[in-house]
Amino acid sequence: MEKTKFSIFKSKITDIVQLTENVKHFRISVQNDFSFIPGQYISIIMDNPDRKIKLRRPYSIVSTNKEAKKGYIELCIKILEKGNITPLLDKLKVGDEIECLGPLGEFKISEESKNKNIIFISTGVGIAPFMSMIPEILGKTNKKVTLITGYKSEKDVLYNKEIKNFEEKYNNFSNYTILSESQGRVQSLIESKFDKNADYYICGLKDMISSVNLLLLKKNILGKNIYLEKYD
């Protein structure tokens, strides 16, 4: 079983890209010996201006160990107007220092899944861990790898260019996106792309996760073949 060592560390923001109206992509520095299992997250720890207690929130690592070896990892963060920590993260500038804890988390591609077809399902920023898991698994398997993503509208779609690159590079990879405002929900794509022999990985908010999980169980996918990461 792969294990990683976690620690508290200081990190510098080295790049920030505004991906959509409310989602930012952060590049932050790590020590050269930082390594993680794709799917894991780091927690950001921030001082709370209003109270004495510090705030701590987990964020999935979007990049791979190739980038970590170069001294950085990347995060994809949705800024919530009424949130506690994300309005503070929104104010960060390149060069600012933050405190982090990690890598942590058990959401990773299981040994059993590595010999099976895999379907990854996300809505919104739930795509984050898959941007790290997909390149890792595509380098190692000939089985089918499918990504199903849901967003509100075209302008909310994340990492289009990177996903197109995966499609061009690997012919066992397919990507399907559905827009809730005009086309429907990820559940309908799951119906049309259903594979009874696949393992399923789902990431996003709890309502979507519960509904997709139930749908898969009703279709006789065993619970042990469904892996979940809830963001709320």
- Nearer to ligand FAD among residue 44 and residue 141 (C-beta): 44
d(CA 173, CA 157): 18
d(CA 126, CA 181): 18
- Nearer to ligand FAD among residue 45 and residue 174 (C-beta): 45
CB of 158 to ligand FAD, least distance (A): 10
Containing H/E element for 120? strand 118-123
DSSP 112: T
DSSP 111: T
- Nearer to ligand FAD among residue 13 and residue 85 (C-beta): 85
- Nearer to ligand FAD among residue 54 and residue 169 (C-beta): 54
CB of 61 to ligand FAD, least distance (A): 8
CB of 70 to ligand FAD, least distance (A): 20
DSSP bridge pairs for 23: 78
- Nearer to ligand FAD among residue 123 and residue 141 (C-beta): 123
Binding site for ligand FAD (CB under 6 A): 41, 57-60, 76-78, 80, 83-86, 105, 124-125, 128, 205, 229, 231-232
Residues 6+ apart with CB under 8 A from 125: 23, 76, 77, 78, 158, 204, 231
Give me the residue whose beta carbon is nearest to ligand FAD: 83
The DSSP string of 195-207 is: -TT-EEEEEE-HH
- Nearer to ligand FAD among residue 72 and residue 231 (C-beta): 231
- Nearer to ligand FAD among residue 109 and residue 141 (C-beta): 109
CB of 195 to ligand FAD, least distance (A): 26
- 38 cis-preceded (ω within 30 degrees of 0): no
CB of 194 to ligand FAD, least distance (A): 26
CB of 126 to ligand FAD, least distance (A): 8
d(CA 150, CA 166): 18
CA atoms within 13 A on the CB side of 180: 13
Nearest Cα to 20, choosing from 137, 152, 117, 149? 152
Q: Are 19 and 27 in contact (CB under 8 A)?
A: no
CB of 143 to ligand FAD, least distance (A): 26
